C-alpha cells in the first residue's frame, strides 16, 4: 500500500539536548572571557569546547532515544563549539579596540 504512513506515536519534543549544550557553551565561554587572562584564553576555550562535547553526549544519553542520536549529538556539539567561537571572537575584538 503506497501512500500509507506510520503514525507518530510520540510527538516531537523540543530539542532539550541542543538547548542545554548551547546554553552551557555560552555560559562557559562568557565566564572564560571574563575571568581568564587574555593570554590564557585560547587554551581555556579549547577546554570549554571539550566540556561542551561531553555535555552534548550526556544530554542526549539522558533523553534515551536511539533514533537520530548521532545527528543530535553532532548538532549539539557543533553548535556549542560555534557559540564558543563567536564569543571568543567578540572578546578578541574587544581586546583589540582601544578604550
Hunting for cell 510520540 — which residue is that? 10
| pLDDT tens per residue across span 8-34 | 666 566 688 899 999 999 999 999 999
Model confidence, pTM: 0.81
99: burial class by Cβ within 10 Å (0-12, 13-18, 19+)? exposed
Q: Is residue 63 part of a domain?
A: yes
Q: Is residue 67 part of a domain?
A: yes
Question: Where in the sequence is the domain holding 87, given as residue range(s)?
Answer: 39-99
- pLDDT averaged per 10 residues, the chain (length 99): 64 78 96 93 93 93 84 93 95 86
Domain count, the chain: 1
**Residue 55 near residue 21, CB atoms below 8 Å:** yes
Q: Is residue 50 part of a domain?
A: yes
Amino acid at each position: 500500500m503506497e501512500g500509507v504512513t506510520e503514525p507518530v506515536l510520540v510527538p516531537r519534543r523540543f530539542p532539550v539536548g541542543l538547548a542545554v549544550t548551547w546554553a552551557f557553551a555560552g555560559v562557559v565561554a562568557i565566564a572564560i572571557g571574563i575571568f581568564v587572562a587574555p593570554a590564557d584564553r585560547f587554551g581555556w576555550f579549547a577546554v570549554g569546547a571539550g566540556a561542551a562535547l561531553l555535555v552534548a553526549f550526556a544530554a542526549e544519553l539522558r533523553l534515551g532515544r536511539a533514533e537520530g542520536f548521532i545527528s543530535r549529538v553532532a548538532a549539539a556539539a557543533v553548535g556549542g563549539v560555534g557559540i564558543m567561537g563567536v564569543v571568543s571572537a567578540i572578546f578578541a575584538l574587544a581586546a583589540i579596540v582601544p578604550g
